[in-house]
């Protein structure tokens, strides 16, 4: 059973998965590979001078897998349901899974959030707090689905990281910082 199920594998979802998997949470990413990134070329992602969006996806998926996440590029999520005593059941085209946390990262497609009846803002985006948590505990929404027009890859990745840090802080029972320093790096 995964600790964290990420729905959508664009920059937001992969970023969330990178942090949670790297820090010991069993993490699965379900994706249908319809990310806008396949239409983009990035000159505005700090640390990367120039990269096609598709190449960015290949590199980032590899990075996330390197850190232990299970990234499924062709498994669509069809339903997410809260479980009475906490956690969620995630139904996909292949199977059903229980997870303690769900991170929604489905781009501009907000249909799963609508089905879950989370609160929406007046502009039609999913209403989240600074940690990207929705009105349902342990359910996060990240990236294009929580933004009216600020659609940039680095912003989506930041949203995913915020969700992951909040999940990790809950799990560790204190504010968690994913700090690596040169002495630690193998
Ligand atoms: C033409 C164009 C050019 C762009 N150029 C730039 C640029 O130069 N620089 C920049 O920073 N940004 C650019 N962007 C914006 C950038 O692509 C987005 O900000 C970014 O992709 C949003 O990331 P996301 O993770 O929120 O959503 P997405 O990248 O859209 O990823 C969502 C993922 O969720 C998957 N998904 C959806 N529903 C399900 C489901 N039910 N089950 C499983 N998977 C699901 C989709 O298949 C998709 O892979 C551009 C966008 C476009 C359209």
SS (HEC) of the chain: CCCEEEECCCHHHHHHHHHHHHCCCCEEEECCCCCHHHHCEECCCCCCCCEEHHHHHHHHHHHHHHCCCEEECCCCEEEEEECCCCCEEEEECCCEEEECEEEECCCCCCHHHHHCCCCECCCCCECCCCCCECCCCCEEECHHHHCCCCCCHHHHHHHHHHHHHHHHHHHHCCCCCCCCCHHHCC
Ligand 1 centroid from CA 140, angstroms:
17
Q: Which atom of ligand 1 is nearest to 151's Cα? A: 19
pTM for the full predicted model? 0.97
What confidence score (pLDDT) does residue 84 get? 85
94 CB near ligand 1 (under 6 Å): no
Domain ranges of the chain: 4-184
Nearest residue (CA) to ligand 1, atom 41: 77
Ligand 1 centroid from CA 85, angstroms:
33
What confidence score (pLDDT) does residue 185 get? 82
73 CB near ligand 1 (under 6 Å): no
What confidence score (pLDDT) does residue 150 get? 86
Nearest residue (CA) to ligand 1, atom 10: 152
User: One digit per residue, pLDDT tens: the chain, 186 residues?
Assistant: 789 999 999 999 999 999 999 999 999 999 999 999 999 999 999 999 999 999 999 999 999 999 999 999 999 999 999 998 899 999 999 999 999 999 999 999 999 999 999 999 999 999 999 999 999 999 999 999 999 988 999 999 999 999 999 999 999 999 999 999 998 887
Fold of 4-184: FAD/NAD(P)-binding domain (3.50.50)
Q: Which atom of ligand 1 is nearest to 112's Cα? A: 41
What confidence score (pLDDT) does residue 184 get? 84
Identify which of 49, 59, 50 has the alpha carbon closest to the alpha carbon of residue 11.
59
What confidence score (pLDDT) does residue 87 get? 97
Ligand 1 centroid from CA 77, angstroms:
16
Q: What residues have CB less than 8 Å from 14, skipping those under 6 apart?
A: 6, 29, 60, 61, 64, 71, 157, 160
What confidence score (pLDDT) does residue 152 get? 97
CA distance 10 to 112: 16
């Amino acid at each position: 059973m995964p600790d964290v199920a990420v729905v959508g594998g664009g920059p937001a979802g992969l970023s969330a998965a990178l942090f949670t998997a790297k820090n010991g949470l069993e993490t699965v990413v379900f994706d249908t590979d319809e990310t806008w990134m396949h239409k983009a070329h990035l000159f505005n992602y700090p640390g990367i001078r120039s990269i096609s969006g598709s190449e960015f996806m290949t590199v980032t998926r590899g990075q996330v897998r390197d850190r232990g996440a299970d990234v499924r590029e062709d498994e669509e999520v069809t339903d997410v349901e809260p479980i009475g005593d906490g956690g969620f059941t995630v139904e996909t085209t292949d199977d059903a899974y229980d997870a303690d946390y769900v991170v929604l990262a489905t781009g501009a497609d907000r249909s799963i959030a609508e089905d879950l009846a989370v609160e929406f803002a007046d502009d039609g985006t999913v209403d989240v707090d600074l940690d990207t948590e929705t009105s349902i505990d342990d359910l996060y929404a990240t990236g294009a689905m929580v933004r009216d027009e600020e659609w940039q890859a680095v912003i989506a990745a930041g949203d995913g990281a915020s969700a992951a840090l909040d999940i990790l802080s809950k799990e560790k029972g204190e504010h968690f910082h994913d700090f690596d320093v040169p002495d630690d790096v193998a």
